[in-house]
Amino acid sequence: MGNTFGQLFRVTTFGESHGGGIGVVIDGCPPRIDITEEEIQRELDRRRPGQSKITTQRKEEDRCEILSGVFSGTTLGTPIAIVVRNKDARPEDYGRMKTTFRPSHADFTYEAKYGIRNWQGGGRASARETVGRVAAGAVAKKILSILHSEFEIVAYVAQIHEVTAKINRSSVKVKDVEKNAVRCPDTAAAKKMESLIEKIRDEGDSVGGVIECVVRGIPPGLGEPVFDKLEADLAKAMMSIPATKGFEIGSGFVATRMRGSKHNDPFEMRSGKIRTATNNSGGVQGGISNGEEIYFRVAFKPTATIAHEQRTVTSSQEQIKLAARGRHDPCVLPRAVPIVEAMAAIVLCDHALRQMAIDLPGRSK
Amino acid sequence: MGNTFGQLFRVTTFGESHGGGIGVVIDGCPPRIDITEEEIQRELDRRRPGQSKITTQRKEEDRCEILSGVFSGTTLGTPIAIVVRNKDARPEDYGRMKTTFRPSHADFTYEAKYGIRNWQGGGRASARETVGRVAAGAVAKKILSILHSEFEIVAYVAQIHEVTAKINRSSVKVKDVEKNAVRCPDTAAAKKMESLIEKIRDEGDSVGGVIECVVRGIPPGLGEPVFDKLEADLAKAMMSIPATKGFEIGSGFVATRMRGSKHNDPFEMRSGKIRTATNNSGGVQGGISNGEEIYFRVAFKPTATIAHEQRTVTSSQEQIKLAARGRHDPCVLPRAVPIVEAMAAIVLCDHALRQMAIDLPGRSK
Amino acid sequence: MGNTFGQLFRVTTFGESHGGGIGVVIDGCPPRIDITEEEIQRELDRRRPGQSKITTQRKEEDRCEILSGVFSGTTLGTPIAIVVRNKDARPEDYGRMKTTFRPSHADFTYEAKYGIRNWQGGGRASARETVGRVAAGAVAKKILSILHSEFEIVAYVAQIHEVTAKINRSSVKVKDVEKNAVRCPDTAAAKKMESLIEKIRDEGDSVGGVIECVVRGIPPGLGEPVFDKLEADLAKAMMSIPATKGFEIGSGFVATRMRGSKHNDPFEMRSGKIRTATNNSGGVQGGISNGEEIYFRVAFKPTATIAHEQRTVTSSQEQIKLAARGRHDPCVLPRAVPIVEAMAAIVLCDHALRQMAIDLPGRSK
Amino acid sequence: MGNTFGQLFRVTTFGESHGGGIGVVIDGCPPRIDITEEEIQRELDRRRPGQSKITTQRKEEDRCEILSGVFSGTTLGTPIAIVVRNKDARPEDYGRMKTTFRPSHADFTYEAKYGIRNWQGGGRASARETVGRVAAGAVAKKILSILHSEFEIVAYVAQIHEVTAKINRSSVKVKDVEKNAVRCPDTAAAKKMESLIEKIRDEGDSVGGVIECVVRGIPPGLGEPVFDKLEADLAKAMMSIPATKGFEIGSGFVATRMRGSKHNDPFEMRSGKIRTATNNSGGVQGGISNGEEIYFRVAFKPTATIAHEQRTVTSSQEQIKLAARGRHDPCVLPRAVPIVEAMAAIVLCDHALRQMAIDLPGRSK
C-alpha cells in the first residue's frame, strides 16, 4: 500500500520488470496543461538502458502510451494513465533467481514480506519501476513551468567513487549535463568517471556516487510544516529511489562541523527582494522554501549486481556461491539523474498545488 | 495541511510555542495497550529544556494530560489526545521578533507562506512543537514492544562539531546514553563535547552534530515499496525534525566510495536464520527490513539562535543588526535524542501495523 | 483510524463522553481567517443539551477553548486545536452499562471491535463526539463566506415521525429555524412536533425524523469525480453522524418513480447565466456542483435510549431486561440540525479548497 | 484528485469512455491471493452493455488485461493494474455534444470545473468509468471469501419505477438474480419490469429504481468510527456510482416513522452467539458491523439520455432543442447491480484489512 506519492499531485506507479507492463496514474493534474507522449518519451529516453557503453546493453524500447486524462494534447483534469509495455523479457536468464537471494538485493526481503515474489529480473524492486516516476516527473515539470516561469531543475553526477566533479551549481544547465554519457557537467571529471566505470565493469565490480540536484525559480512559501516540510518530502522522495543510502540539503553533513555564526544565512535586500547572503539552508528554512536555489545531494550505493562471485543463501537455506550473469549497469548514477529530477519535480509540483489551496484569492501578503 | 504523519498509526500534532498549549492526537492506536501519563511524561522529560547546564535554562514543566483514548490506563482504540499547556510564556522577550526575520529561522518563510506568523518564540516552528511527537513516540514504543519482544531503540549523540564518539552500535543501551548530559555513550567524547558546548555558549555561538540511532528486534518484512520504503519514511521523519540537514542509512554517504564487491552484504545461515554477514544495508533492503539492526544517522545544523551580532532584514525591508537575547541551546543535539527515537518509533509502529494488514491469518510464509 | 475527515480541510476529532475532554484539530485551514471562541461557542450552544424542555436536561457547559492555530483572533495556517472539557461526568449513573449491551447502541459492536470500551455514557459512540464537528463547522462556514459571498447554509427539521413540515426551501433562513425549540421553520408543524415529542417522552419512548439542508451560493465546479463526488462526500459526512439511517440528494428516492423526461433538469439562460429550469439534481450533476441550490435530506432513527423495558444480553451472555434511567433526548433531531450544517460546511469547504488547487492562476475558463 | 477509494485496499480508477483505455490500479491487495483474468472478466461481463434487449446494443468487448501485481495467477502484494482498451469509439456520433450541455448530464459541470472536457460519449463521467470498479470488486470479493468463509454478497433490482419486487432478503442468491435480464429475483416482478422498460424505451423515455444489496458472513467489528463508519463508507461508495440519488441502510427512511420501542433491535442469545432479534440496524451499530446481515438500498434516477426532445443550452449560451440519438439504456439498474456489489465489496475488504491492523496477534477479545 505504498505505491502512491503526493497529496494533491498524486502519483501511483505499478508494474514489475517482467509481466504485462509498467506505468503510472497521475491524479490531481490540473486541467488544460499541454502534454504529449513525445515530451514524456524524451524524459523516459534519458532513463533508458543501452544509451552508451557505460550502461547496460539491454534493449528496452520503453515506448509510453497515454491511456487517459489527455484529450487533443491537453490534460482534462482527470487521471492520466501512462503505460509502457514490457518487451525484453527473457525469463530464462533469471531461472536461478527463483531460489537464490542475491546479496543486497530485495529478493530476501520481498520473500519475507509477501511470501512470494516475481523472481524474474527483480520484479517490483527492479529499477525499471522508476519508468512511471519519470513519466510523472515530465508532467510535473510542465506544471511547474506554467506556475513559475523561472522554474528550472538540473540534476547531475557530482561524484563517482573517489572522482569528484567541480560544478558551478548556480549556472549549470541541463544541456551541460546531457553532453556526456556519465551526466557530469565537469568534462574533465566526466572523462575520469567514464574510464573508472569501464574499468570497474571489466573487473566485474560496481561503484556508487553522489547526484546533486539544483532547483531554481521556486518562490518563497512552498512546504507544509511540521511533517510535510519541503526537505522532508524531498528526502522521502529521494530515499524511495532504488540504491539510495543518504540525502542532504544545503550544507548537509558539513553543517555538523560548522558554527552557527558561520552557518546562518544573513538576510539582506538584493534587487528589491529579501534574499540571503549565503545559502547554507539550501533554499529551505523551517521546512518552507525561501526563494533561494534549492539544492540537495543524494548518495547512491554501488550496484548490487556484480559479476564477482559472492556468498549467499537460497530459499531452502542452502549456502551457495553466486556470480551474476547478463547485462547490468556497473554504476547506476548516469541513468538515475532523470529519476532524481523527476522525483524532485513531483514533490515541488505537489507543494505548489498545496500552496494554491491555502492562498485565498484577492488577498495580498 | 502537513501536520499528520503515518498511515495507520496516525500522529497529528498541534500547537505553537506560545498560546494555549501544544499536543498530539494519535489515531489508529490498537486497543488494550497499557499506557500511563507517567510513561509519556518520562519521555517528555528527556526532551525538556533546563535539564543541565548545557541546555537552555527555560523552565518548561511540560506536564502532559491524556484527554481521551485511554480508559483506566488502557487504550480504547479511539483517538488518544495528549495536551501540554504552555506556561512559560514571556511575550515581552520576543517584542522585537515581531518585525525581525532572524537568520536561518523560519520567520521569513512563515511570513512568506501564510502572510502571518505567531512571532512569539518561534510559534509553530519552535522546537517545542516536538512535544507531541515525543508523546506519540512513547505510545509507539509500547506497541512495538508488544509486537516484537526484542524491540529496542537507542539514539545517541555520535558527533558534536569536530568531536566524534566511538560507540559500539550493537551493544549500546539507553542507560549508557542517559548517563551524561550530552547523551553520548562514549564517556571520554562526552566530556569533550560538554566542554566544547560550554565554550561555544560562552562565545555566544552554537554547534551542530550527528545523532545516530539503532533499532533492534525488528523482524524482516516491514516497509512498503515503492514510495513508503522503510528508509524513505525514516528519512522523511528525521528531516521533519527542526534543524536537520541530512540523513543516511547503513553505509550512507560512505557507500558512494565503496565498490559493490565490498559493499554487498553476503547472506549466510546463522543460528538457523538467514542473516547478512555485514550490514552496510543498515537493516533495510529494497525498502523492507531484513531482520538486521536498522541504523541511521541524522545531521543537525548549529542552532540558529546565537548571541553573535548578525545582519538581517525586517518585515519592512530595513537592513539591521541583530543579537539574540534570552535563553537558548547552544547545541540542540542532547535534547534531540528522544525526538529522533520518537520519530523512528512512530515510523516503525506505523509499518508494523501496515504489515499486519496484509498478513492474512493462518497463512505461513 | 477513522477519526479524520477531509482532504485539505482536515478535521480530526477526539474524545469520549466521559474522560478529560473532547475536541478537534483542524489542519489545512487557510491563514488570516478571523475566528473567535465566541463564534465557535455560538454554534456549540445550538448543539448543547438542556436548551429546552424537549431535550435532555443534562447540563453541559461545553465551553470551548482554542489551544492553537489562532493568534490575536486570526488563523495562522497552523493546526487549530479546540478543546471542550468534560464536566458533567456521573459515572455512577452508568454502572450497569459496564456489562450490559443496550439495544441498538454501539456497546456490543465497540466491544466486538476493540475488546474494550469506555462504558461511561456511550464513550466515543456518544453524540457528544459531535462537539468537535460543530466547532470545525463554524470555521468551515467562515472560510466559505469569504470565498463565496452568497454562501448560506440552512438545515432544519422537515419531519418528526408522521408530522411533516411545509417549508419553502429556497427562502428559509437560519433565523426561521432558530425561532422554535424543535428547529422546524413551519410554525404549525413545529407545534405538533413539540407536542408529539413531549408525549413520546412521557411514554418513555422516542421518535426519529428527517432533517433537510439547503446550501446556497456555491458556484459551479465543486466536487471531485469519480469517488469524491460532492454528493458522495456529503453522504459519507451525513451517514457518519450518530443515528442516521439514510441520505438523499435532490429528488432522492422520489426519482426512482419518475421518468427521465420529467426528471431531467433542462438548461436555460437566466439573468445571463446558464441555469437549470428545475432542480431535481439537487445542485449536483456528475458529482460536481452546478451553481443551483444544493439540498439533501437525512433520515434519523428514533433515539435508541428509551425508558421502555427491553430485552437484551450482558457481556457474560446472560439474557436480561433493561430500562434506561437518567436524562435522554426522546428525539435527537433538534440538536442534530447544527451537526448536519457543520458536516455540510466541512465537506463544501474541503471541496472549495480542493478546487483552488487545480485552478491555475491567470487562466479564464 | 478524487479517483482513489479506500485506505488499505486502495482502488484508483482511470479512463474516459473514449481514448486509449480504462482501468484500475489496486494497491494494498494482500499477497498470495489466487486471481485470474477470467474471474475478473466474468464480473465485467455482467456490467457490459449489449447483454439483452433491454440494455443498450453497443458492442463493448471489454476484455481485461492484468498488467502487473499478479504472477502465475497469484497476487504479489504489489499494485495490480488492470486495463481494458477502448474499442467501440465512434466520435462522429458525438459531434454535437462538443458544444451542447445535455440536461442532467455532467457536460456543463465538467466544463465549469475543468474548463475542458472530453465530449466524446461522456468522457470521464460515462458509466464506462465503472469498469475499473467492477474489476477491483472482483479482487475484493476474493479476499473477503478467504477472510470470512461465509461471506456472500448479493445485489438485485428491488424496484423499477412503480414496479416493486417481493424478495426474501435472507435467502436470495446471485443465481436467482442472474436468471433474468433485469436482475430482479422476483420472477413475476421481473417480467413486469422488463415490459415496462421496453415500453419506456419505445416511448423514447427512461426510468429509475432501487437496487438492494445484502451482505452475509461479515463478522462483528468492521467499521472505523467516527467518520469511517461502515455505513458512511458504504454511503459514499454508492453515492459515487453514476445516477445515484439516495442511500439507506437497514430500516432507512422508514425508521423516521417508527418509535424507538419498535425500532430497537433487542439482543438475544442464538446458537450460542449474541444476535439481534430484529435487524432494523441493517447489520451496523455505531458504525461497526454487528454480525447480522448488512443490507442497504440505493436509489437510481432515470437515465439522463432520452430520445425525447429537450430544452438545453450550448457552450456559447444559445438556447436549443436536443433529442438524443444512438444507443442508450432506458434503465441503468440491471447493469448497475454488479457495480453496487463491487463497491460494497471494496468497502468491506478495505475495512476487513483495517481491522487486521488493530488486532494484535495472540490477544483474545
For residue D91, what pLDDT is reported?
A: 56
For residue B157, what pLDDT is reported?
A: 98
CA B150, CA B294: separation in Å to the nearest integer?
A: 13
Sign, Cα dihedral of C165, C168, C169, C171: negative
pLDDT greater than 80 at residue C312: yes
pLDDT greater than 70 at residue D129: yes
Sign, Cα dihedral of D101, D105, D108, D114: negative
Q: Which residues of chain B have pLDDT under 70?
A: 50-51, 55-60, 88-94, 326-327
C positions 129-158 inside 8 Å of A (CB): 146-147
Task: Report the candidate in C360, D116, C357, B114 with the shortest Cα–Cα distance to residue A145.
Answer: C360
Residues facing residue B157 across a β-bridge = B211
pTM for the model stands at 0.97
Joined together, the cell numbers standing for residue C246 give 439514510
For residue A61, what pLDDT is reported?
A: 74
The nearest CA of chain B is from the CA of D358 a distance in Å of 5
* Mean pLDDT value across chain D: 94
For residue C48, what pLDDT is reported?
A: 83
CA A58, CA D282: separation in Å to the nearest integer?
A: 58
Q: Which residues of C touch D125 (CB under 8 A)?
A: 225, 286-287
For residue C324, what pLDDT is reported?
A: 72
D36 inside 8 A of chain A by CB: no
pLDDT greater than 60 at residue A264: yes
For residue B228, what pLDDT is reported?
A: 98
A positions 321-360 inside 8 Å of B (CB): 354-355, 357-358
* Segment A66-78, tens digit of pLDDT: 999 999 999 999 9
* Mean pLDDT value across chain C: 94
Domains for chain B: give ranges and CATH numbers.
4-356 (3.60.150.10)
CB-nearest to B231 from A239, A260, A302 is A239
CA C162, CA D275: separation in Å to the nearest integer?
A: 30
* Segment D184-213, tens digit of pLDDT: 999 999 999 999 999 999 999 999 999 999
Average pLDDT over residues D148-176: 98
pLDDT greater than 80 at residue C221: yes
The nearest CA of chain B is from the CA of C168 a distance in Å of 39
Residue with cell 433515539: C303
Mutate to test the interface with A, among B134, B244, B264 (most CBs of A within 10 A): B264
For residue D365, what pLDDT is reported?
A: 74
Average pLDDT over residues D108-116: 97
* Segment B110-136, tens digit of pLDDT: 999 999 999 888 899 999 999 999 999
Find the residue in B nearest to C118 (Cα): B71
Q: Do C27 and B3 touch (CB under 8 A)?
A: yes
Q: Which residues of A touch C363 (CB under 8 A)?
A: 32
For residue B49, what pLDDT is reported?
A: 76
- Give, as one character, the DSSP assignment of residue A6: -
pLDDT greater than 90 at residue A56: no
Task: Report the candidate in D305, D126, D118, D91 with the shortest Cα–Cα distance to residue D205.
Answer: D305
| Alpha carbon distances (Å) from C269 to C250, C272, D105, D314 | 21, 6, 17, 10
Residue with cell 442511500: D247
For residue C84, what pLDDT is reported?
A: 97
CA A233, CA A6: separation in Å to the nearest integer?
A: 9
Q: CB of D287 within 8 A of CB of D232?
A: yes
Mutate to test the interface with D, among B360, B363, B365 (most CBs of D within 10 A): B360
For residue D327, what pLDDT is reported?
A: 66
Name all chains with 3 or more CB-CB pairs below 8 Å to chain C: A, B, D
Residue type at A224 in one-letter notation: E
* Segment C143-187, tens digit of pLDDT: 999 999 999 999 999 999 999 999 999 999 999 999 999 999 999
What is the Rg, in whole angstroms, of the alpha carbon atoms belonging to chain D?
21
Joined together, the cell numbers standing for residue C14 give 477526539
D304 inside 8 A of chain C by CB: yes
Confidence of residue C363 (pLDDT cuts 50, 70, 90): confident
Q: CB of A218 within 8 A of CB of A289?
A: yes
CA B245, CA C339: separation in Å to the nearest integer?
A: 45
Q: A222: Cβ–Cβ under 8 A, 6 or more apart, which residues?
A: A230, A288, A289, A348, A351, A352, A354, A355, B113
Average pLDDT over residues D268-272: 96
What DSSP string describes C113-181? Answer: HHS----STTGGGSGGGGHHHHHHHHHHHHHHHHH-TT-EEEEEEEEETTEE----TTT--HHHHHTST
pLDDT greater than 70 at residue A94: no
Average pLDDT over residues D257-281: 97
CA A168, CA C224: separation in Å to the nearest integer?
A: 44
* Segment C85-99, tens digit of pLDDT: 998 656 556 677 889
CA triple C210-C25-A357, angle to 5 deg: 90
pLDDT greater than 60 at residue C223: yes
Q: Do D71 and A19 touch (CB under 8 A)?
A: yes
CB-nearest to C265 from D104, D251, D268 is D104
Find the residue in C nearest to D244 (Cα): C252
pLDDT greater than 90 at residue D88: no
Residues facing residue B214 across a β-bridge = B154, B295
Sheet strands side by side (includes A80-85): A4-5, A10-15, A21-27, A80-85, A64-68
Q: Do D357 and B360 touch (CB under 8 A)?
A: no
| Alpha carbon distances (Å) from D211 to A131, C254, C280, D339 | 42, 14, 20, 10
Average pLDDT over residues A291-317: 95
Residue with cell 528519512: B235
CA D16, CA A241: separation in Å to the nearest integer?
A: 31
Q: Which residues of B touch D7 (CB under 8 A)?
A: 7
CA A167, CA A149: separation in Å to the nearest integer?
A: 24
CA C182, CA C158: separation in Å to the nearest integer?
A: 10
D35 inside 8 A of chain A by CB: no
Q: Which residues of D touch B227 (CB under 8 A)?
A: none
Q: Which residues of D touch A23 (CB under 8 A)?
A: 67, 81
CA D45, CA D124: separation in Å to the nearest integer?
A: 20
First to last CA, chain C: 39
In a 3-state reduction of DSSP, which class is residue D161? Answer: coil
CA D188, CA D170: separation in Å to the nearest integer?
A: 19
Q: B283: Cβ–Cβ under 8 A, 6 or more apart, which residues?
A: B215, B218, B249, B250, B289, B290, B291, B292, B293, B294, B295
B21 inside 8 A of chain C by CB: yes
Joined together, the cell numbers standing for residue A14 give 505499478
Number of C-beta neighbours around residue C96 at 10 A? 14
| Alpha carbon distances (Å) from C259 to C255, D121, D161, D206 | 8, 22, 8, 6
pLDDT greater than 90 at residue A47: no
Please provide residue B97's backbone torsions phi and psi, each rounded to the nearest 5 degrees.
-65, -15
For residue C364, what pLDDT is reported?
A: 75
Q: Which residues of D touch A117 (CB under 8 A)?
A: 71, 76
Task: Report the candidate in D242, D214, D240 with the shortest Cα–Cα distance to residue D156.
Answer: D214
Average pLDDT over residues D44-48: 91
Number of C-beta neighbours around residue A268 at 10 A? 16
Q: Do D22 and A78 touch (CB under 8 A)?
A: no
Residue with cell 446494443: D57
Name all chains with 3 or more CB-CB pairs below 8 Å to chain B: A, C, D
pLDDT greater than 70 at residue A197: yes
- Give, as one character, the DSSP assignment of residue D207: B
The nearest CA of chain A is from the CA of D83 a distance in Å of 9
CA triple B68-B73-B77, angle to 5 deg: 50
Tell me whether the omega of the peptide bond preceding residue A226 falls within 30 degrees of 0, making it cis.
Answer: yes
Q: Do B114 and C19 touch (CB under 8 A)?
A: no
CA C223, CA C234: separation in Å to the nearest integer?
A: 10
Q: Do A12 and D23 touch (CB under 8 A)?
A: no
Average pLDDT over residues C297-304: 97
For residue C36, what pLDDT is reported?
A: 97
Average pLDDT over residues D147-171: 98
Q: Provide the greatest CA pair distance for chain D.
A: 69
CB-nearest to A31 from D8, D79, D115 is D115
For residue B365, what pLDDT is reported?
A: 74
For residue D10, what pLDDT is reported?
A: 98
Q: Which residues of C185-198 are buried (b: 16+ CB within 10 A; e: fewer)?
A: bbeebbebbbebbe
Strands C310-314, C100-101: parallel, antiparallel or unpaired by DSSP?
antiparallel
Confidence of residue A327 (pLDDT cuts 50, 70, 90): low
D240 inside 8 A of chain C by CB: yes
Mutate to test the interface with A, among B3, B100, B244, B261 (most CBs of A within 10 A): B261
CA A58, CA A156: separation in Å to the nearest integer?
A: 23
Q: Helices A131-147 and A37-47 meet at what angle, rounded to 10?
A: 130
Joined together, the cell numbers standing for residue A362 give 484577492
Residue type at C349 in one-letter notation: C
* Segment B239-282, tens digit of pLDDT: 999 999 999 999 999 999 999 999 999 999 999 999 999 999 99
Q: D262: Cβ–Cβ under 8 A, 6 or more apart, which residues?
A: none
pLDDT greater than 60 at residue A92: no
In a 3-state reduction of DSSP, which class is residue D296? Answer: strand
First to last CA, chain D: 39
pLDDT greater than 70 at residue D38: yes
Q: CB of D75 within 8 A of CB of D29?
A: yes
pLDDT greater than 70 at residue D30: yes
Residues facing residue B332 across a β-bridge = none
Mutate to test the interface with B, among D1, D10, D26, D358 (most CBs of B within 10 A): D358
Joined together, the cell numbers standing for residue D277 give 432479534
Residues facing residue B319 across a β-bridge = B313
What DSSP string describes D13-27? Answer: EEE-SSSSEEEEEEE
For residue B90, what pLDDT is reported?
A: 61
As a residue count, chain B comes to 365
D72 inside 8 A of chain C by CB: no
Q: D306: Cβ–Cβ under 8 A, 6 or more apart, which residues?
A: C260, C261, C264, D204, D205, D206, D324, D328
Find the residue in D nearest to A354 (Cα): D1
Average pLDDT over residues A347-359: 97
Q: Do B240 and A221 touch (CB under 8 A)?
A: no
* CB pairs A-D closer than 8 Å: 154
pLDDT greater than 80 at residue C61: no
Strands A288-289, A284-285: parallel, antiparallel or unpaired by DSSP?
antiparallel
CA B340, CA B234: separation in Å to the nearest integer?
A: 10
Task: Report the candidate in C173, C151, C183 with the shortest Cα–Cα distance to residue C46.
Answer: C183
